[in-house]
Homo-oligomer: A and B are copies of this chain.
Amino acid sequence: MSPAVFTSITAYLVQQLLLVDAELEGLLPGAGEYPTSIHQAMRHSVFAGGKRLRPILCLEGGRLFKGDEKSLLRLGAALELIHTYSLIHDDLPALDNDDLRRGKPTCHKAFGEATAILAGDALLTLAFEIISAPSSSPQLRLQIVHELARAIGTRDGMVGGQVADLESESQGATASLVDYIHSAKTGAFLRAAVRSGAMEAGARGDDLARVSSYGEKIGLAFQIADDILDVTGTSAELGKSAGKDDQQHKATYPAIHGLEESRRIATRLVAEACDALAPYGERAGRLRQIARFLIERTH
Contact = CB atoms under 8 A, between A and B. Distances in A.
B129 A117 contact: no
Interface string A87-116: 001001011000000000000000011110
B115 A163 contact: yes
A94 B122 contact: no
Given A35-B163, A135-B142, A154-B39, A124 B126 contact: no
Interface stretch (A145-153, A223-231, A233-241): A145-153
B122 A124 contact: no
A207 interface: no
Given A38-B160, A149-B129, A117 B95 contact: yes
A50 interface: no
A174 interface: no
A252 interface: no
A274 interface: no
Interface in A125-176: 125-126, 128-129, 132-135, 138-139, 141-143, 145-146, 149-150, 152-155, 157, 159-160, 162-164, 166-167
Given A89-B117, A117-B95, A33 B155 contact: yes
Most buried by B among A34, A37, A124, A129: A129
A121 interface: yes
Contacts of A167: 35, 37
A120 interface: yes
B117 A154 contact: no
B35 A164 contact: yes
A154 B129 contact: no
Contact of A128 (B117, B135, B138, B145): B145
A48 interface: no
Interface in A7-64: 29, 33-35, 37-39, 42
A125 B149 contact: yes
Contact of A160 (B35, B115, B139): B35
B149 A37 contact: no
B122 A146 contact: no
A67 B231 CA distance: 57
Nearest to A37: B163
Interface in A247-262: none
A256 to B, nearest CB: 19
A271 interface: no
A284 interface: no
Interface of A: 29, 33-35, 37-39, 42, 85, 89, 92, 94-95, 112-115, 117-118, 120-122, 124-126, 128-129, 132-135, 138-139, 141-143, 145-146, 149-150, 152-155, 157, 159-160, 162-164, 166-167
